[in-house]
Structure 1
Amino acid sequence: MTALISGLSDLADRYDVILSDVWGVIHNGRESFPAACGALAQWGETKPVVLISNSPRPSHSVIPQLDELGVQRAAWQAFVTSGDATRVLLSELAPGPAWRVGPDRDAPLYEGLGLDYADYDKAAFISVTGPYDDEVEGPGDYQERFEACAKRGLVMTCANPDIVVQRGDRLIYCGGALAQLYAQLGGKVLMAGKPYAPIYELCLVEAERLLGRPVDRSRVLCIGDGLPTDVKGANDQGLDVLFVASGIHGAETIGADGLNAKAVEDLLAADGLAATYAIADLVW
């Protein structure tokens, strides 16, 4: 059974390091959540917080966005993104050429990799960070081109496994939605972000650096709001996880009386997943 907790302070003595999701836990793409940021900052006074994000950009290029949204630097001590892990995959496929799918803001993913680029009909593989315009586009806008690429046997790398994220009060499609469609069409997809192992391996390296000693995996706590990414990733790695119910699954788990424990259990069970703990919003 998932244990409901009132705040992160309930777990302060149980864990040595936190791997915390970003979007949906400490901000929504438009503003930060002060209570959540404050909780991580309080934890960070004595123990490290490693942010683990499915952002398709390298972590160094995402930090300015966190600053602009008001996520204080005290809320984290290290930052690892899906972009960091995906660059390893892309370096193995260079020089391509790649059909690059995604907005211009994701360009830092490719810096220094020596990749060439081509349209879908001439590319050697596909690299996806998300839709070109996530305000208006969805997977269906790419189906015909993906069908052609799948028939040619092109591999797709996807730098953001998230299906959707919450931007303000809206849900928008991410790279994972495009990758899901490509796989359904028979295409092969490579991913390194959550829930896949490479990003967790990078995070645990950072945790060891911050702790100055080997990590005891039984004392690592993952925090996240996404079932197929945060919760599944933690489950697959044998790590405990705190499910933040008010994120992308808030409409299903939060009622007039607050967090609905049965709704959380039903939601997890439907996907064959387990959460060690659950909380409505991340607070201290």
Structure 2
Amino acid sequence: MTTSIERCGLSALSDMFNVAFCDVWGVLHNGERVHQSAVKALQNFRRSGAAVILVTNAPRPSNEIVTELLAMGVPQDAFDALVSSGEVTRDLIATYQGKTIYRLGPQSDDGLFDGIDVKFGPLDQADAIVCSDLEYGRTPEDYTSEIQDWKTRSLPFICANPDKFVEIGDQLIYCGGALADLYEEVGGDVIMAGKPFPPIYEKAAQLALQTRGIDLKDQKVIAIGDSARTDATGAAKIGAGFLFISGSIHAHELGELNAPDEAEIEKLLAPTGANSMGYSPFLEW
């Protein structure tokens, strides 16, 4: 079967785009190790004068994630700036200043609330739920009865991580987006600012302007990511080109890791409406 999508590296697209909005987890690293081919691709792209803005659905402030990446061995010259869904979510949390929040998520996400005057309290006193991620060891289905209680109380659900899954080594772990989906299915009010929603891309575009002087009207964006739901859909929403990284969370759906079924890739991406420029099992130059 002939398909229109082809394997390509970032070098094949470098003359067409001057800004990359690049996913982090699943593209730049897998939670345990850095993908060196991705580092080299981003370094080479920047050497052409282009901007690389890392755009991640991690539910923590951007500066924390930059520190973590540098500690993992990602060199500073591989990117210009980073924006996280956690950073954008802080703007949403700030609208509840002086009010009570029911919090879901690990203590490692405490930085999400730094400097914001909200109180944590029980569900019956809460004005909203803030979910940075699922509680340790729980699946979305474990929250079924609680979700009905949230709906009865008409509580808005602010989700700091729209991803459904994240790759940690060889495992796929549930994220906040999977729980948000279940709440939305019962008619709950879900609010998200990470990918694929516009606010996180608007911040990324401003960072490309600030760090590389590329005017908003002159930005030609290639979005790079491993998720159809967030990265491809987000690229479609902002009118960017899309480079799909097939060897991550969707790898098990696409056949052989280093030679995925291109027809299956097309079938996966078609519903997103993304302008797919190509794919690669791992980001490479």
TM-score bin (small chain): over 0.9
User: For residues 109 and 38 of structure 2, what CA distance do their matches in structure 1 show?
Assistant: 26
**Aligned pair 1:75/2:74, yes or no?**
no
CA contact (8 A) 1:131 1:173 kept: yes
> Structure 1: where are the runs of 5+ without partners?
none
Q: How does 1:46-65 map to 2 (within 5 A)?
A: 46-65=49-68
Equivalent of 1:108 in 104, 111, 127: 111
Match 1:95 to one of 88, 98, 118: 98
CA contact 1:218–1:240 (8 Å) conserved in 2: no
User: Residue 95 and residue 59 in structure 1: after superposition, are their counterparts in 2 closer, same or farther (change >3 A)?
Assistant: same
How far is the alpha carbon of 1:48 from its aligned partner? 1.5
8 Å Cα contact 1:159/1:191 also seen in 2: yes
Which residue does the alignment assign to 2:184? 183
Alpha-carbon separation, structure 2, partners of 1:217 and 1:229 = 24
Q: What TM-score does the superposition give when structure 1 sets the normalisation length?
A: 0.94
Equivalent position of 1:38 in the other structure: 40
Whether the 8 Å contact between 1:8 and 1:39 is mirrored in structure 2 is yes
Q: Which moved more, 1:79-88 or 1:141-150?
A: 141-150
Overall identity of the aligned pairs, in %: 37
**How many Å separate the matches in 2 of 1:15 and 1:210?**
16
| Equivalent AA in structure 2 for residue 27 of structure 1 | H
Preserved CA contact (<8 Å) 2:54 2:82: yes
Q: Which residue of 2 aligns with 1:16?
A: 18
Quote how far apart the aligned CAs of 1:171 are. 0.4
SS class of match (2:83): strand
> Do the aligned partners of 2:162 and 2:175 also contact (CA within 8 Å) in 1?
yes
Shift, 1:2, TM fit: 4.8
- For residues 91 and 74 of structure 2, what CA distance do their matches in structure 1 show? 28
Deviation at 1:271, TM superposition (A): 5.2
Deviations 1:61-103 (A, max 9, x none): 1122212322221111110000111111111122220001000
Q: Is the 8 A contact 1:102 1:128 kept in 2?
A: yes
**What secondary structure sits across from 2:118 in the alignment?**
coil
Matched ranges for 1:253-264 at <5 A: 253-255=254-256, 258-264=259-265
Q: Match for residue 173 of structure 2?
A: 172
8 A Cα contact 1:208 1:214, kept in partner: yes
* Cα distance in 2 for residues equivalent to 1:257 and 1:86: 36
Partner residue, 1:196: 197
The answer (yes or no) to whether the contact 1:245–1:279 under 8 Å persists in 2 is yes
- List, as ranges, runs of 4+ consecutive aligned residues in structure 1 with deviation greater than 4 Å: 270-274
- How far apart are the structure 1 equivalents of 2:245 and 2:146? 36
Unpaired runs of 5+ in structure 2? none
- Equivalent in the alignment of 2:125: 122
Q: Note the 1:223-234 alignment, pairs <5 A.
A: 223-234=224-235
Aligned pair count? 282
Structure 2 CA distance for partners of 1:100 and 1:239, relative to 1, 3 Å: same
Could you say what the CA RMSD is over the residues aligned between the two structures, in angstroms? Answer: 1.7
1:13 shift after superposition:
1.1
Give distance in 2, aligned partners of 1:151 and 1:100.
17
Alpha-carbon separation, structure 1, partners of 2:97 and 2:146: 22
- 1:238 is the counterpart of 2:228: no
CA contact (8 A) 2:226 2:245 kept: yes
For 2:218 and 2:242, the matched residues in 1 are separated by 12
Q: Distance in 2 between matches of 1:244 and 1:145?
A: 35
1:247, distance to aligned residue in structure 2 (A): 1.3
Q: In the aligned structure 1, how far is the partner of 2:175 from the partner of 2:218?
A: 30
CA distance in 2, matches of 1:39, 1:138: 36
Q: How far did 1:270 drift?
A: 5.1
State how far apart, in whole Å, the 2-side matches of 1:254 and 1:41 are.
30
Aligned in 2, Cα 1:122/1:2: closer, same or farther, shift over 3 Å?
farther
